[in-house]
């Protein structure tokens, strides 16, 4: 049990950092990239194992967490969002589903190929939808003092009335 927990924390971290190395991300962002991918994977696992929701929905929630963390780190560390986003979604990408789809197509087991392919497409759609939902939020929401300033603006407007 403890080995499984450590593997579920360590493997996505290492995989995400490896993917960041592959994409020539600056070294100072490796830990942040790893933590982003690890957080998304842990949310995915939690939703997939402890709820009745499908893996596509779990991928959506994992991606939402990855994109939220990426947007926060972008503002905090002053770098592009793609630095954290591209490497952070790596653990969520349905690589095995695509592989087995191709495998079953080659083996002429079309029913299994269609099943695996449809599941991979659902997961990919969940990832795309998660990215689109969070990237639609204006950048100002992630600025450090935005919510404090907003509270004071609302109070000033109420006093004017």
The Cα 69–Cα 2 span in angstroms is 27
The Cα 15–Cα 35 span in angstroms is 11
Specify the pLDDT at position 9.
Answer: 86
- Non-local (6+) Cβ contacts of 139 within 8 A are 71, 75
The Cα 12–Cα 58 span in angstroms is 16
Domain boundaries, the chain: 2-94+124-160
The Cα 38–Cα 8 span in angstroms is 8
Can you give the pTM of this predicted structure?
0.84
Q: Assess contact for 66 and 40: CB atoms under 8 A.
A: yes
- Non-local (6+) Cβ contacts of 104 within 8 A are 110, 112, 113, 116
**pLDDT tens digits for the chain (161 residues)?**
788 888 888 999 999 999 999 999 999 999 999 999 999 999 999 999 888 888 999 999 999 999 999 999 998 888 899 999 999 999 999 889 999 999 999 999 999 999 999 999 999 999 999 999 998 988 777 777 666 666 666 666 666 66
Label residue 54 left, alpha or beta by phi (over 0 means left) and psi (-120 to 50 means alpha). beta
Helices 95-106/110-135 angle, 10° precision:
160
């Amino acid at each position: 049990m403890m080995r499984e927990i450590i593997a579920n924390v360590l493997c996505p971290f290492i995989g995400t950092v490896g993917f960041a190395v592959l994409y020539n991300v600056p070294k100072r962002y490796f830990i942040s990239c790893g933590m982003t991918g690890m957080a998304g994977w842990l949310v995915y696992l939690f939703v997939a194992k402890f709820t009745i929701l499908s893996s596509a929905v779990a991928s959506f929630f994992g991606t939402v967490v990855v994109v939220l963390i990426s947007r926060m780190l972008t503002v905090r560390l002053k770098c592009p969002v793609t630095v954290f986003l591209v490497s952070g979604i790596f653990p969520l990408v349905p690589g095995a589903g695509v592989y087995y789809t191709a495998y079953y197509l080659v083996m002429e087991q079309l029913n299994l190929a269609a099943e695996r392919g449809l599941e991979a497409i659902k997961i990919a759609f969940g990832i795309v939808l998660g990215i689109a939902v969070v990237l639609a939020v204006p950048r100002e929401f992630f600025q450090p003092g935005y919510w404090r300033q907003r509270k004071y603006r609302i109070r000033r407007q109420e006093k004017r009335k």
